[in-house]
């Protein structure tokens, strides 16, 4: 007898950010006069760059002509965008063929389907970690194992004494939610472990633009990664594309799992599950990678970095322990007064009018923590700082 996927029973009732949204809406409805500031979901607030909107407007005009009309996009992306992304990697000394880059509508979409490439392989995720790796690993029938990311290991777990068995290992650097970023030595350790154990690294680099320029931004800066890693990248947090939707994955021709070339299976999976990303969007993304586009992105990133610095300064004055903000748009804080994540979430919502993300939503090890996003308007950050200081200063 068939039925619904019983693995839903392993998930929480709501996806983390939907649950937060429901609580925010319920609170706002009950307190219409209060001005709530959202530092919860990492959703950008600055408008798209002029270079991007110009390219998209031009693409829209083209689409209104017989010659310039485009139907279904190529399944893995237009060559112009795949080439532009390969060009950006080349500037960091990473050689990728444009055919090894696959365009999608989000790193989340790619992370969600990767588990379908495997059958009954352990999926290893950091705890805390981005909930999509865990939830989609479970839904696809894999055993999900957790690697604790704690203050003791600098929130950057290493393979240590992990057994040498093939597994799918999901790592995000700089990390969501902690903001901690692996250095070259850490990345080399993971690549060496993946090679030795026959494992695959799923390297989520969605926040890499927040790293200092001399830090490694891509797992492919470690040469052997070509054989044992795939990478996810995104325009969401660099070019402000959370609402436009454009991202990419890298599957090299050499990456194997269980002796099988994964790129072949990835092409099969992607062309079956998606019809790609619109021409307008891809022209916008291409423009974001142009010289002018990059200047615009840099200005946005600097703005969010400054937001993060102001929050970080506030937490330092309040004596709250945590990290992040310097290499990532997120700050990861231990809850004040020993509160649980949801207790602290409620306290901040009701006393400060601030929406945050409860750390436990990212895994049990995240209990007792909160994540703050710096993707807000400056005046909101300043107001949040004022309120936090008023309520929590001793
Ligand atoms: C986040 O805030 O972690 C992400 O932007 C939310 C998501 O991708 O679901």
pLDDT in tens, 59-117: 999 999 999 999 999 999 999 999 999 999 999 999 999 999 999 999 999 999 999 99
Ligand 1 centroid distance, CA of 241 (Å): 13
How far, in Å, from the CA of 134 to the mean position of ligand 1? 14
User: Would you say residue 19 has pLDDT above 80?
Assistant: yes
Going by pLDDT thresholds of 50, 70 and 90, the confidence category of residue 221 is very high
Q: Which of 161, 52, 168 is nearest to 121 (CA)?
A: 168
Q: How many CA atoms lie within 13 A of 230 on its CB side?
A: 29
Q: Averaged over 38-52, what is the pLDDT?
A: 97
Q: What does the pLDDT read at residue 172?
A: 98
Q: Minimal CA–CA distance to 263: which of 227, 239, 288, 233?
A: 227
pLDDT value at 324 more than 80: no
Distance 173 CA to ligand 1 centre (A): 14
List Cβ neighbours of 24 (8 Å cut-off, separation of 6 or more).
36, 38, 40, 349, 355
**Span from the CA of 40 to the centroid of ligand 1 (angstroms):** 9
What are the phi and psi torsion angles at 316 (to 5°)? -60, -45
Q: How confident is the model at residue 325 (pLDDT cuts 50, 70, 90)?
A: confident
Pocket around ligand 1: residues whose beta carbon is below 6 Å from it?
Answer: 17, 41-42, 108, 176
pLDDT at position 1 over 90: no
Q: What's the pLDDT score for residue 73?
A: 98
Q: What is the pTM of this model?
A: 0.96
Query: So what's the pLDDT on residue 2?
Result: 87
Q: Of 359, 382, 391, nearest to 372 (Cα)?
A: 359
pLDDT more than 70, % of the chain:
100
Tell which atom from ligand 1 comes closest to the C-alpha of 40: 2
How many angstroms separate the alpha carbon of residue 43 from the centre of ligand 1? 7
Atom of ligand 1 nearest to the CA of 357: 2
Percent of the chain at pLDDT exceeding 90 = 97
Q: By alpha-carbon position, which residue is closest to atom 8 of ligand 1? A: 108
Which pLDDT score, from 0 to 100, does residue 169 have? 98
The answer to whether 353 and 27 have CB atoms below 8 angstroms apart is: no
Which residue's alpha carbon is at the smallest distance from atom 5 of ligand 1?
42
Kindly list the distances between the CA atom of residue 371 and the CA atoms of 35, 255, 332, 377, in Å, as whole numbers in the listed order: 20, 34, 5, 17
Q: Spell out the residues 6+ positions from residue 91 whose beta carbon is closer than 8 angstroms to its own.
A: none
Please state the rounded mean pLDDT for residues 245-267.
97
Distance from Cα 41 to the centre of ligand 1, integer Å: 6
* Position 263 confidence tier, pLDDT thresholds 50, 70, 90: very high
SS3 81: helix
Q: What is the mean pLDDT of residues 318-324?
A: 89
Residue from 42, 108, 176 whose mutation best tests the ligand 1 pocket (most atoms within 8 A of CB): 42
- CA-nearest residue, atom 1 of ligand 1: 42
Can you tell me the distance from the alpha carbon of 149 to that of 163, in angstroms, rounded to the nearest whole number? 18
């Amino acid at each position: 007898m068939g039925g619904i996927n019983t693995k839903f029973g392993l998930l929480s009732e709501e996806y983390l950010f939907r649950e937060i949204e429901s609580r925010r809406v319920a609170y706002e409805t009950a307190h219409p006069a209060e001005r709530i500031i959202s530092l919860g979901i990492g959703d950008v607030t600055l408008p798209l760059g002029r270079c991007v909107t110009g390219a998209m407007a031009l693409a829209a005009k083209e689409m209104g002509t017989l010659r310039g009309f485009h139907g279904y996009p190529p399944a893995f992306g237009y060559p112009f965008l795949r080439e532009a992304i390969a060009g950006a990697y080349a500037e960091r000394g990473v050689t990728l063929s444009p055919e090894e880059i696959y365009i999608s509508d989000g790193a989340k979409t790619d992370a969600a389907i990767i588990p379908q490439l495997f059958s009954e392989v352990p999926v290893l995720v950091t705890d805390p970690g981005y909930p999509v790796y865990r939830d989609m690993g479970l839904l696809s029938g894999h055993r999900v194992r957790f690697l604790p990311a704690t203050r003791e290991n600098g929130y950057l777990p290493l393979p240590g004494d992990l057994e040498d068995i093939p597994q799918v290992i999901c790592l995000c650097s700089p990390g969501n939610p902690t903001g901690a970023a692996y250095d070259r030595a850490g990345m080399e350790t993971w690549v060496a472990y993946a090679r030795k154990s026959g494992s695959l690294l799923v390297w989520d680099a969605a926040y890499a633009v927040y790293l200092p320029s001399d830090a490694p931004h891509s797992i492919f800066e470690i040469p052997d990664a070509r054989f044992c890693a795939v990478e996810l990248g995104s325009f969401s947090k660099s070019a402000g594309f959370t609402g436009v939707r454009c991202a990419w994955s890298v599957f090299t021709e050499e990456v194997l799992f269980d002796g099988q070339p994964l790129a072949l299976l990835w092409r099969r999976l992607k062309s079956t599950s998606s019809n790609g990303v619109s021409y307008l969007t891809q022209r916008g993304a291409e423009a974001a990678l142009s010289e002018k586009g990059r200047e615009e992105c840099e200005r946005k990133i600097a703005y969010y970095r400054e937001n993060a610095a102001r929050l970080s300064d506030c937490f330092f004055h309040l004596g709250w322990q945590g990290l992040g903000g310097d290499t990532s748009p997120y700050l990861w804080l231990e809850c004040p007064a020993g509160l649980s994540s949801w207790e602290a979430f409620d306290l901040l919502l009701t006393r400060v009018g601030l929406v945050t993300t409860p750390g436990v939503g990212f895994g049990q090890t995240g209990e007792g923590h909160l994540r703050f996003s710096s993707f807000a308007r400056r005046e909101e950050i300043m107001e949040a700082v004022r309120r936090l200081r008023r309520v929590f200063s001793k």
